[in-house]
Amino acid sequence: MAFQILLNVFLGFLWMFFTLTYEPVAFLKGYLFGMVILFTFRRFFGSRFYLGRVIAIISLGLLFIKELILSNISVLKLVLKPKLDIKPGIFALPTVLEKDWEITILANLITLTPGTLVVDVSDDNKILYIHTIDMDDAQEAIDSIKNTFEKAIMEVSR
Amino acid sequence: MIEIFKIIIVALILIGAFLSLVAAFGVLRLPDVYTRNHAASKAATLGVLAVLLGTFLYFYMEEGQVNSRVILGIVFIFVTSPVAGHLISRAAYNSGVKLWDKSVQDDLKLKEIAPSKKRQ
């Protein structure tokens, strides 16, 4: 991915030198043309076309913000409810992600999800230990959320 | 146009202050370290974010200056606060702080067996 972006910047500079105009607009024009060229020659690169990955990163950021707002609403309800009928507990969640940065992002996302907080990661990076505030409805709902998170992160790293 | 932005700014700052207040209530009301961490690491994050965003918009609309430091502050808090919550609860667990009495499940206990098995 980094190589493709570097190549695209290089093509942008090349366009500036071709047209003898050294302005940001000329660079942007060259960058866009270079993007078209990279898309045409995408099968020669080892990884996929980098724009898809950029879009995946942006959608991951939007997911982050959405989860932050949802979890705040749930904490708000929990704290302001007159009766304290919570059932906290710690459960284990096996994960398929392998690289360190993927697990870090997954743990951050889980911490910002409604009602969950990562307490520990096992030594072989295979299991996350998660403290949840309500054990009843947690299990299935949270597992499905985890699947969307893991999928979104895998979309970036694939 | 300006009036609409004023309303948005006021709403953002009030929401931020309210969320920080709720986080403080949560820290007082909830029973143990872990559940308190839920309130502190989530509600306080979004509260500070909303206040900073309101400040940024105010100085942008009123003085016309784009203060990128506020945006950087938002990003830093967004990245570091869940990590802080995780580290505090992990340190609490490792130093033997008990869960609340009514907690139903504790899978992390099983973890203590695994490394000792490896050593044998």
> How many Cβ pairs within 8 Å bridge chains A and B?
114
For residue B118, give the chain A residue with the closest CA. Answer: A123
What per-residue confidence (pLDDT) applies to A28? 92
For B66, the 3-state DSSP assignment is coil
pTM summary value: 0.77
**Binning pLDDT at 50, 70 and 90, where does residue A66 land?**
confident
Query: Residues 75..104 of B with a Cβ closer than 8 Å to A: which?
Result: 78-79, 82-83, 85-86, 89-90, 93, 99-100, 102-104
Distance from CA of A21 to the nearest CA of B (A): 29
**What is the pLDDT averaged over residues A29-55?**
87
What per-residue confidence (pLDDT) applies to B90? 86
**Binning pLDDT at 50, 70 and 90, where does residue B114 land?**
very low
**Which strands make up the sheet holding A89-94, listed edge to edge?**
A89-94, A127-132, A116-121
CB B42 within 8 A of CB A112: yes
Nearest to A67 by CA among B97, B85, B83, B42: B42
What per-residue confidence (pLDDT) applies to B108? 61
Question: Does residue A52 surpass a pLDDT of 80?
Answer: yes
Spatial separation of the C-alpha atoms in residues A8 and A30, rounded to whole Å: 9
Distance from CA of B34 to the nearest CA of A (A): 7
A87/B26 CB distance under 8 A? no
Q: What is the pLDDT of residues B61-98, one digit of tens each?
A: 888 888 889 999 998 988 888 888 888 888 888 887 77
**Binning pLDDT at 50, 70 and 90, where does residue A33 land?**
very high
**Binning pLDDT at 50, 70 and 90, where does residue A31 land?**
very high
Question: Does residue A117 surpass a pLDDT of 50?
Answer: yes
More confident residue, B45 or B13: B13
What per-residue confidence (pLDDT) applies to A157? 78
What per-residue confidence (pLDDT) applies to B105? 64
